[in-house]
Structure 1
Amino acid sequence: MSTPAERAEAGVAPASASWPIRLDGASVTYPNGTTALRNVSLSISPGEMVSVVGLSGSGKSTLIRTINGLVPVTSGTVEVGPYTVSGLSGRRLRELRGHVGMIFQGFNLAERVDVYRNTLVGRFASSSWLRSLFGIASAEDREIALRSLEAVGMLDKVWTRAGSLSGGQKQRVAIARALSQKPSVMLADEPVASLDPPTAHAVMAELERIGVERGLTVLVNLHLMDLARDYTTRMIGLRAGELVYDGPAAKATDADFEQIYGRRIQPQDRLGAES
């Protein structure tokens, strides 16, 4: 089996629409006094597939949410493509978010609505305010939504109510919704945490394939070491909000993971142990 790096080299080159990400001394302290990120500096090139690994409370979700402005930094800067996120608000912040696809652990789908309309939500950022207000889709929007569903193998479920889908199918719809934005960056916050091992592997393989085929910049939060090694080309390790590892994911040793976790490796740190 080829490595993610070898598969990336065999795929298309990063698209010109893909954006770099740069954090320079980024720190986040919440109003309750908790410091979630401490002076994190890193650069991610367009088209990279990067995992952010760490235990619960390590700062993974905070880091990924600084990139689309859901969590503002309290010091330092975050740059995504042409935007300095730490200085954005209002219309400019909405513009940025229109270019950044986001996939959540809990899917964030409208359960009573069909798959098509859930996917179409991704087009609202590119629609006029009047179309968005009344949920009116243009012919182009409809075509993009359907193509996004086809890309993740969910076109046959287009009129199925989202609430009746399996967990893996829901996550695929969430990926399609993010793809329908035609994003320059894709963020995934623990996208497989609630899935069984076979489905988790399938979803990660889907993210990897899409990233390679479209040359997308993909940043995915994980806590499982085998998924990071198998599906991402680069791994960033966080512990207590600090950057403690940054290197090739496939070459990360058990000792590297123990440094990230701040303890010895346990069975639950590997996906296979959860089957």
Structure 2
Amino acid sequence: MLEAIMHTENQSPQTVNVAGSASWQVELDHVSVTYPNGTRALSDVSLRIEPGEMVSIIGLSGSGKSTLIRTINGLVAATQGVVTVGPHQVNALSGRALRDVRGQIGMIFQGFNLAERTDVLHNVLVGRFAHLPLWRTLLDLPTKHDRNIALGALDSVGILETVWTRAGALSGGQKQRVAIARALSQEPSVMLADEPVASLDPPTSHAVMGDLRRINQQYGLTVLINLHLIDLAKQYTTRLIGLRDGRLVYDGPVQNATDKDFEEVYGRPIQARDLLGN
């Protein structure tokens, strides 16, 4: 199947560049987020993530992890402070300008967010929408270049053979890899992942985390991952950000984090449910 696909596209997937030309820095300067119902999800968070870093964000449910990730790509608006991604002040953008920036920020969701009745290729091509004129999107007419980018992204996560498979027929791990490929096809400068392994079994969780680490290392791509599992954060990322009740309580190299630091983040002793295990 691989040979037939690439004969049609006239390009080997190994030659396709699926990451942006430059990774971006991410900076939050005294950022707070209060939701309309009065819930304060982030409180005076300041941090800077350098281009090419592989960072895990840990904390209990409700600690502000998802809000932080979604503030970076403008899905959640900061109510105070400044959010800067690359050359853009995200919280000052709206409309087309915000959509353009989001086109350069890959996003991977816990629930995959795939069109399950559609084949894998078309799901991955969604990541190319920011690069296409509207008429091509509406008429389902991607260019050969866009198809090659999508195929290269699938190949990079090892599931090119699923290209014509309906997304709903895939396993959970395969669906998450399609979601990663979709984000990669954006040629992003930053990759965000919101609890990408929460619904996966241990072997598949390790495989998906390995894919994200390899993407970070191969392309020098800035990667931020929300996790609730301490051992995965230790094994696959190099920097740890800990949130508790919306406040930053730890920020440093993963290898320097002690059990006491993790207990400060979680507000209690470490429990078995905080670890994936084998």
Q: Structure 1 length normalisation: TM-score?
A: 0.93
* Residue 29 of structure 1: aligned partner: 34
TM alignment of 1:190-269, pairs within 5 A:
190-269=195-274
Distance, in Å, in 2 between the alignment partners of 1:16 and 1:164 is 34
Structure 1: gaps of 5 or more residues: 1-13
User: Partner residue of 2:151?
Assistant: 146
2 CA distance for matches of 1:251 and 1:119? 38
Q: Which of the residues 100, 104, 110 maps onto 2:105?
A: 100
The reply on whether 1:166 has 2:158 as its aligned counterpart is no
Match of 1:5 in 2: none
Correspondence for 2:129: 124
Identity of aligned residues (%): 69
Q: Is the 8 A contact 2:20 2:188 kept in 1?
A: no
CA distance in 1, matches of 2:38, 2:54: 32
SS at the partner of 2:192? strand
| Aligned partner letter, 1:246 | D
Correspondence for 1:60: 65
- Deviation, structure 1 residue 216: 0.2
Rounded to whole Å, the distance in 2 between the matches of 1:145 and 1:105 is: 21
Deviation at 1:249, TM superposition (A): 1.2
- Asked if 1:187 is matched to 2:208, the reply is no
Match of 2:83 in 1: 78
The one-letter code sitting in structure 2 at the alignment partner of 1:40 is V
For residues 46 and 20 of structure 2, the distance between their equivalents in structure 1, rounded to whole angstroms, comes to 25
In 2, distance between residues paired with 1:128 and 1:271? 43
Q: RMSD over aligned Cα, in angstroms?
A: 1.1
3-state DSSP of counterpart to 1:135:
coil
Query: Deviation at 1:16?
Result: 5.3
The 3-state SS of whatever aligns with 1:250 is helix
Decide whether the 8 Å contact of 1:15 with 1:215 is kept in 2.
no
Give 1:15 shift.
7.6
Q: Summarize deviations over 1:174-216 as a string: whole Å, max 9, x none.
A: 0000000000000000000000011101100110001110000
How many residues in Structure 1 have an aligned counterpart in Structure 2? 260
SS in structure 2 of the partner of residue 227 of structure 1: helix
C-alpha displacement at 1:171, in angstroms? 0.4
Q: Which residue, 159, 178, 182 being the options, matches 2:183? A: 178
Structure-2-length-normalised TM-score? 0.92
- Could you tell me whether the CA contact under 8 Å between 1:15 and 1:47 is conserved in 2? no
The letter of the residue matching 2:199 is: S
Could you tell me whether the CA contact under 8 Å between 2:24 and 2:51 is conserved in 1? yes
Q: What is the deviation of 1:135?
A: 2.3
- 1:155 aligns with 160
Report deviation, 1:136. 1.5
